[in-house]
A and B are shown apart, each in its own frame.
Chain A
Amino acid sequence: MDPLLFTAPARIRILLVPVHPIKATTFHKHVQLVKNFNVVRLGDVTPDMRGVQSMFSSQLFHEGQLHFNFVTSYEPEHAYLEEFQMHRRIFGVIEDQPDDTKGLIMIPDVGKIDFYMGTMISDFANSILNEFGNLAADIERRPIVHSPKIPSQNFSQSQSINGRYSTPLQSFSAPDLKLLQTPPTFPLTPPVQAMTTSGVGAAANISPKDNSYHSRSFSSSTLVNIANVPNTVADIKLKRRANGRIEKLIADLFLMAGRLPDAVSHYSLAIETTKANGDYLWQGSALEGLCVGLLLAAYLHTDVGPHYLQPPSSPSPNDSSAPSSPESPQALWIDITEKYVNILTLYAKTSGPSNNQVPPLIYTEACLKVAKFLACIWVTGGWGDNALKLSVHGGTPEKGSNERWGLSSVTLLILPLLSKSRNSSPQITKPSIGSESGLLTCLKKIAEIYGVGDDVDQTDYSVIDEDARPLEFGWPDIQIDVIKDALTISEALPDYPSMVKYTTRLLRRLFMYMHRDEQIRLSTSIPRIVGAGKKLGLDMEFKYWGLNIVKGIQVCRPTSRRIPYPHTNKKLSLKNEEKKEGVSPFIYQSFNKKKVETAQIHLIANETSYFLVTLANPFAFDMEIQNISVSTDGIAFTPNSISTTILANTSITLRISGIPTEPGELIVRGCKIKVHGCLEQEFLFMTVIKRYLMSIGSFYSGLAALDSYHKKDTTISNEQDENSPIKKPFISEFLKVSVINEQPLIKIKSTSLMHGAMMLFEGEQTEMTIKLENVGKTPVDFLSLSFNDSTIANAQALLNSDMPAEEAYEMELYAHKQSVFSWNKKDNVKILPGNECIVNINVFGKRGCVNGTIQIDYGYLNRPNISDDEPFYTRQVFYPVLLTIHQNLETISMDILNFKPLNGEENYESVNRDIEDQRNGMVEDLLKVMKWNNKGTKKDFMEKMENDYCLLTFDIRNVWHVGFDVTIETDEGEDIDPLTITTTIQPASTARIILPIKRISLSEKENTQPIPSLLEKQFVVSKGPKGTIEQERLSLALFWYREKLLQKIKATWESSFTNQKGIVDIRSLRLNKSMLNVLKINEVSFGIDMEDASKVTKLSCNQFKCPVNEFVRMKFVIYNNQDKSCKLCIRIQPVQSYSDGIMEWDLSKRMVWNGLLQTPLPKIAPKSSIIYTLPICFFSRGDFKFLYHCEDVHTRTMYFDTQPLIVEVIDS
């Protein structure tokens, strides 16, 4: 029963006691049954034998009611109040005994149990009323009535303060003992077959005894006090006061007996007396009783008589009778409220250190009672019968939950006081059960008002996705205070779930406003609370209190050899593989973006994958994480967990591993974290961080703002519930990772190299092997090698600078066409798991190269059940090679020479004899060396050489300390066999290589093409100074002729000692203009002949011997080597040259000629010739020189012969 019921003082407390062999359930059933009879009309009470004479006769006031308060427990802690407030004592005991055959009153099993029960209760009430009479008589005899004293555990202290209570232990232990002793007397009760009868019967018999016991105990304690206390002034005062007090106690009894008019009159008396004595405590208490009496009277609609009513303001009954009558109930509640204000002031007056101090419980209850009374009125919608009923009977108001909290919140207004009183008086350790839930709802509501109610956090922390953020609403300091108060109250109850709730809320919401020590204290208290709760058998688990500490999850890039590289499609990508060598021509490619490798990381089924998880600890204490593992969704995943500690206010990044067991899409939801002492919980991590909507400006303020938050929250949550993607203001996503099929894994088991290093000569060609082993679980059926070396980057850097095109070409050729490594691709590679495979790689000694990398891409393409269109993945293995390249041979000083006229042994006169000698010897050597397979005569050969060939010479120097055999090969193509020269070059010596090379003719079109770029580089307008057209043409011609020339020559070297072989670099040779003139076949060339053959001897090319005074014909054969016809004009200038070098120009006296020395020629068709004949007769002997050239009539280009025509005129 609610102790705060307004009408509690009018209730008779009856103890229900189970007797031994009864079962708890049966007992409770019976208790419920008995509780139905808690109200007995006085008219129904069995009339007493003594009739009206009895003091508490039920016959006098028929409208009255007896209210029983059936309790099943007795609170000895409040025993000290029993002398002060009569309703606190137990006036009767009803025993509940199991069936027995010996019954005093037999009630049949069948029939109206209610009826019999009613009868029994009526009888019972009668006996109680009788005992009231005895008790009242007893009280009236008393000389002194003491005020209640709070018994203190510390006896010595209480003695020192108040000698009157020298033996408080005795006074209170006595009832206890008796309580123990009395039960044996109960079995007098004859147990009956029907339980109910037995109970009532027992009560009817026993209650008087019980009552007497109480009165005995009461009197005994009084006696003790009297015995011990000497007659002091205080004692005299007490005696004076006794009258009023006795009146009050009697009134209490009247109230309980339902005799309202008597009660009211006695109370009025008591009030008057106590007021006169200044006995505030008792006056207040009497007033309280009066209020109850008035209220009950109002409830019963009986008039207690206006003359009894005495409002405290005016003692005269007649003046105030009208407003306080039940006919004007409106006034009654005002009256009661006013009275209570008065009561509280009275109680407050006793707060001095006098012995009449009000017990906190009384004061508190008074406060709460009036509060509750008002709340009842409010709940029932105003003053009226309903309100009366509610305040008389108590019970839960039947309005919505909203109103219920209102009721409890009124209760809570006095909570700090209540909790204080709880703390100070250890007697009240066990609060009544009824108010507990009300208190809790009240706490909730209070917290809500301060902005830290249940709305701010969902209580389910099974999934944590909330970030630490400052509160949007409220006053942090106050919020902390409020929650702490709530915590204290729930601790006092004790209600463990709400303790945990408030502790976690403090930590979750307000940790940033709290001191470090406090945070630590709170966090450590949680396990303790949970432990205590578990001991009580509550279903409690210690969960982490809520803030998300996972700040980021990233898939960790696997080690480079494990990264799978995606390829869209088998066929396409294989083609690309080949194309890969070439570099895209564009410097900047806007469309063809290279895939950012970090953007997508693939995990591989059945391989350990790693995640980088960033954790942040926002709290001021170290957070110990016992277990953390990645929590995933989608495909199967086996996480591995680790443990760690995050220091206060720091963040750490962990690498957590796990194995996806099948291919598909892995959704990384977050982490499963077990914070020390807590349960394992899931912490979510979204890639799009949830943004909370902030209210716009200050549209709402105060509590309205708080409401608007709640509204918003609910609308958002509703939307999420409906799963409508359009309405969502943001979409949060989990990290998604694709998991691909199992991939093979290859490792390089061994190579043919020592320490991965190689030493090569420049141009050396050799081979190395790599042994691969498949250490994975899947076979490899695709293998592709690509290479890189140190020179490429360097050359690239140089290329970007501005350099002439031919230089750039050379550089490009060097960088990209000469690859250090090369590989002969093999088809049908298949390496089964555990097997090995050997790959041969050709290595080339490239000048300037210091290191290179071999990249092996491999994969498993032809999987069963997978179509060709699906993307596939390859992995890469890198093998770096250190290279040392030594230069061994050097080609220098190239030259290209014409064959000078070769003189026969017979006629040899030359100006410069030495040179001629040398040249002769060389040619002879050459002739010997060359296994010229020309079948013609020497003359033919000479002729051929004259016109079609030139000599290429260059030096090869051996800069190494070992001799090399150098083989030079010229391949003219066509039907001529290649010419090969092998020579051994000793260390530090130089060999001159002389090669006959067929002169080259390139058409205009061929040699004016721009210099190509091997890289297909985007054309960049050259910034360098542009030469004249002639210079440009020349440089192009030089470039193309050189290319042609180099094509013909191959030079290799071999070392017989070490079996090394390689290529001699001849690209270092450069052409110049004069060499070009020799090398190239002119567009227009000349052939000279003189007739008659009988008279003229041809000495060599363009050298003739002719007798004097003979008519000869000089034939100029003009060849047009061009692809187009040309129109030429020929000019011939004969001169006579003397041996001293003087030229005689005027030759009219020395020779005659028929025809023009300067004339246009007919059009010459392409690749054909015309002959211009000039008949001549020399008059004079000596050397004549003919200078001649042709000029293109359109382009004005002059064409010269390589040598002048010399005619030696001799005597015939």
Chain B
Amino acid sequence: MSYYFAIVGTKDNPIYEIEFGSSGTRSAGLDQNTKKDEHRHLNQFIIHSALDIVEELQWTTNTMYLKTVDKFNEWHVSAFISAGNIKFLLLHETKNEDSIRNFFNECYETYIKILMNPFYEVNSPINSIAFDTKVRSASRKYL
């Protein structure tokens, strides 16, 4: 099970990206790396293309969690949209709405804490290590 989580700003710019979960089979090291790299690019493209649907959906509902918005092959894209139009997107393989919702909520809380930092500007990349660890722990907890 592997996940790819990205927070996308209002200008389609990635604020935060993370991949977690181990991919099932591991082959030779070098091959693995290149494969992973390719995979990462693909993930980004999937997430990026899902933005269109998120933008369409966001005005039709007043919940922040948009559930699964897109599907690409065996991948599902779940979205969560913050009040400030920041999109949380998660790429996952199995549907599990509740845990993903919890995950998103926790990430959102962490994000709000980041946002309250007077030195942080909206739409700028998040480099905080604390944020990273919290997101990771949330992923372990819920995903």
Contacts and interface: CB of A to CB of B under 8 A. Distances in A.
Q: Do A and B come from one complex?
A: yes
Nearest to A481: B41
Nearest to B84: A698
Interface in B39-60: 41, 44-45, 48, 51, 55
Given A475-B8, A705-B10, A698 B45 contact: no
B123 A698 contact: yes
Given A697-B122, A698-B122, A701-B85, A473 B12 contact: yes
B11 A472 contact: yes
Is the interface on chain B under 10, 10 to 19, 20 to 34, or 35 or more residues? Answer: 10 to 19
Contacts of B84: 698
B137 interface: no
Interface in A687-710: 697-698, 700-703, 705-706
Contact of A451 (B8, B12, B14, B86): B12
Contacts of B14: 475-477
Interface string A447-481: 00011000000000000000000011111111001
Contacts of A475: 8, 12-14, 44, 48
A475 B85 CA distance: 16
Tell me if A's interface is mostly helix, strand, loop or mixed: loop
A475 B51 CA distance: 12
Contact of A478 (B11, B48, B85): B48
Given A474-B11, A474-B13, A475-B8, A702 B55 contact: yes
Nearest to A698: B10
B88 to A, nearest CB: 14
A705 B11 contact: yes
Interface string A474-507: 1111100100000000000000000000000000
Contacts of B11: 451, 472-474, 701-702, 705-706
Interface residues of A, number: 19
A142 to B, nearest CB: 42
A1170 B34 CA distance: 127
A700 B41 contact: no
Interface string B56-87: 00000000000000000000000000001110
Contacts of B41: 477-478, 481
A706 to B, nearest CB: 8
B122 A474 contact: no
Contacts of A698: 9-10, 84-86, 122-123
B44 A702 contact: no
Most chain A CB within 10 A, of B12, B48, B51, B86, is at B12
A515 to B, nearest CB: 12
A849 B8 CA distance: 75
Interface in A518-566: none
A476 B9 CA distance: 13
A700 B14 CA distance: 16
Contacts of A474: 11-13
A350 to B, nearest CB: 21
Nearest to B42: A481
A399 B84 CA distance: 39
B122 A478 contact: no
Contacts of A477: 14, 41, 44
Interface string A745-765: 000000000000000000000
A703 B8 CA distance: 13
A478 B45 contact: yes
A702 B122 CA distance: 15
B45 A702 contact: no
A702 B51 contact: yes
A582 B55 CA distance: 78
Contacts of B9: 698
A481 B45 contact: yes
A700 B44 CA distance: 22
A473 B13 contact: yes
A447 to B, nearest CB: 13
A967 to B, nearest CB: 83
A162 B17 CA distance: 48
A299 B118 CA distance: 67
A690 to B, nearest CB: 20
Interface string B6-33: 0011111110000000000000000000
A555 to B, nearest CB: 37
Contacts of A478: 41, 44-45, 48
Contacts of A702: 10-12, 51, 55
A451 B9 CA distance: 14
B13 A701 contact: no
Nearest to B12: A474
Contacts of A705: 10-12
A481 B14 CA distance: 15
B14 to A, nearest CB: 5
A960 to B, nearest CB: 75
Given A702-B51, A705-B11, 10 more contacts: A451-B11, A451-B12, A475-B8, A475-B14, A478-B41, A698-B86, A698-B122, A698-B123, A700-B10, A701-B11
12 contacts: A450-B48, A473-B11, A474-B11, A475-B8, A475-B12, A475-B48, A477-B14, A477-B44, A478-B48, A701-B55, A702-B11, A702-B51
Q: Which 3 A-B residue pairs are closest in the complex by CB-CB distance? A: A701-B10, A698-B10, A473-B11
